[in-house]
């Protein structure tokens, strides 16, 4: 089978490798669509692991079912988690499932930018497989994982109806945060970015106002538009250091800052203990990945049409042209969601 082997953002090679062989309790999935995630283009995060086959936002069709597995059948359409928590350790039982050791060890093989993927027995047993309903396309199915991550982040940030929200960074994660907050009934939503193309998406898909971060005093402008108050919740959906500093200046007393995106390697920010923690009772929190339950909740939102993820797809490429897809995602200017179609650009 063919795979896209990643060395760096400018060096992705199409290789021929043996099709995975499955064992008892495993599934072989023919990949019909796989999304490029923003984390796929973070070179410092990948450099010590290359070469490797990336791709964790997947959807496809079962072509082989391992012995003893009765819950799934050939021809079934699925999405699946790359990583799954054990559900039994102290971290899982305390609500920190995505910090579980098991989650960091599990994976499917070889990766979603391939014609076929083997879903291991342990991933299946721990609930990391999600049937796509008849109304969900393969392309929509690739949003199961990123939307699940957004669901988890907003739950940890205590997003509720009527709250004001400032989303710093209007890439795919930022827009999904906006769409979900709009669905949840946020009272006022503002979004920032350096790129007008992305701000247009934010405005169209739920933001009440958009602010170009290169041109404006973000904390001051937001407060001026929000009755003089900071945001109840600030979501940092970009790795830019400036955005992290803006977040601390934009959150209201008693509010929450959610750090959702990775930064440049080794990045740090100054922090006033008195202003943030002592006097103003600001909560700083983070989220990483998502649980199987959150994946299922995300898929239900997609299937119901409540989160119209298909509106975010701007580009589709075959495996042969994946290098161009990575260029667009790494450039982060004239694209939103880039989908790779390992079986070719046929319709779902």
Give the CATH number, domain containing residue 180. 3.40.50.720
In a domain, 223, yes or no: yes
How far apart, in whole angstroms, are the C-alpha atoms of residue 51 and residue 8?
9
Decide if pLDDT at 285 tops 70. Answer: yes
Q: What is the pLDDT of residues 140-194, one digit of tens each?
A: 999 999 999 999 999 999 999 999 999 999 999 999 999 999 999 999 999 999 9
- Domain that residue 9 falls in: 2-145+289-341
Q: What is the pLDDT of residues 86-102, one digit of tens each?
A: 999 999 999 999 999 99
How does DSSP assign 139-182, residue by residue? HHHTTHHHHHHHHHHHHHTT--TT-EEEEE--SHHHHHHHHHHH
Specify whether 262 is located in the same domain as 322.
no
In this prediction, residue 15 carries a pLDDT of 98
Q: What is the pLDDT of residues 306-348, one digit of tens each?
A: 999 999 999 999 999 999 999 999 999 999 999 999 999 876 6
| Confidence band for 300, pLDDT divided at 50, 70 and 90 | very high
Specify whether 178 is located in the same domain as 249.
yes
In a domain, 346, yes or no: no
Domain count for the chain: 2
Looking at 239, 268, 286, which one is the last position of a domain?
286
How far apart, in whole angstroms, are the C-alpha atoms of residue 181 and residue 163?
9
User: Nearest 10 degrees: CA dihedral of 268, 270, 275, 281?
Assistant: 10
Specify whether 117 is located in the same domain as 177.
no
In a domain, 215, yes or no: yes
Specify whether 175 is located in the same domain as 298.
no
Specify whether 295 is located in the same domain as 281.
no
From the list 82, 75, 76, 67, the residue with the least C-alpha distance to 117 is 82
CB distance 299 to 79 below 8 Å: yes
Question: Is the four-CA dihedral 201, 237, 321, 77 of positive or negative sign?
Answer: negative
CATH number at residue 55: 3.90.180.10
In this prediction, residue 117 carries a pLDDT of 98
Looking at 268, 286, 304, which one is the last position of a domain?
286
User: Nearest 10 degrees: CA dihedral of 45, 90, 236, 325?
Assistant: 40
Specify whether 279 is located in the same domain as 310.
no
Specify whether 85 is located in the same domain as 57.
yes
Specify whether 162 is located in the same domain as 257.
yes
In a domain, 244, yes or no: yes
Taking 3-state DSSP, the helix, strand and coil percentages for the chain, each rounded to the nearest 5, stand at 35, 25, 40
Pull the structure tokens for residue 156: 């940890």
Looking at 264, 286, 308, which one is the last position of a domain?
286
In a domain, 105, yes or no: yes
Specify whether 128 is located in the same domain as 250.
no
Residue 121: alpha-carbon gap to chain centroid: 24
């Amino acid at each position: 089978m063919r795979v896209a082997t990643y060395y760096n953002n400018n060096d992705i090679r199409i290789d021929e490798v043996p099709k995975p062989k499955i064992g008892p309790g495993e599934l072989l999935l023919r990949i019909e669509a796989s999304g490029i995630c923003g984390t796929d283009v973070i070179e410092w995060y990948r450099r010590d692991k290359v070469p490797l086959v990336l791709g964790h936002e997947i959807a496809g069709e079962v072509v082989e079912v391992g012995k003893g597995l009765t819950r799934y059948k050939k021809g079934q359409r699925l999405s699946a988690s790359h990583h799954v928590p054990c559900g039994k350790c102290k971290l899982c039982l305390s609500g920190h499932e995505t910090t579980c050791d098991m989650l960091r060890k599990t994976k499917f093989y070889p990766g979603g930018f391939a014609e076929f993927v083997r879903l291991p027995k342990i991933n299946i047993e721990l609930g990391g497989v999600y049937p796509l309903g008849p109304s969900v396309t393969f392309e929509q199915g690739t949003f199961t994982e990123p939307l699940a991550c957004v669901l988890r982040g907003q739950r940890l940030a205590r997003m509720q109806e009527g709250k004001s929200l400032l989303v710093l960074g209007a890439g795919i994660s930022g827009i999904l945060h906006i769409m979900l907050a709009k669905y949840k009934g946020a009272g006022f939503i503002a979004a920032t970015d350096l790129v007008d193309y992305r701000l247009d998406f934010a405005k169209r898909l739920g933001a009440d106002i958009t602010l170009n971060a290169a041109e404006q005093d973000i904390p001051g402008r937001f407060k001026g538009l929000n009755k003089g108050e900071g945001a109840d919740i600030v979501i940092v959906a970009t790795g830019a250091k400036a955005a992290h500093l803006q977040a601390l200046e934009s959150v209201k007393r008693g509010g929450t800052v959610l750090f959702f995106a990775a930064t440049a390697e080794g990045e740090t920010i100054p922090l006033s203990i008195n202003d943030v923690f002592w006097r103003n009772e600001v909560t700083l929190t983070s989220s990483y990945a998502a649980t199987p339950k959150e994946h299922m909740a995300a898929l239900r939102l997609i299937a119901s049409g409540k989160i119209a993820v298909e509106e975010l797809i701007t580009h589709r490429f075959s495996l042969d042209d994946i290098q161009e897809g990575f260029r667009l995602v790494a450039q982060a200017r004239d694209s939103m969601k880039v989908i790779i179609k390992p079986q070719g650009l046929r319709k779902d």
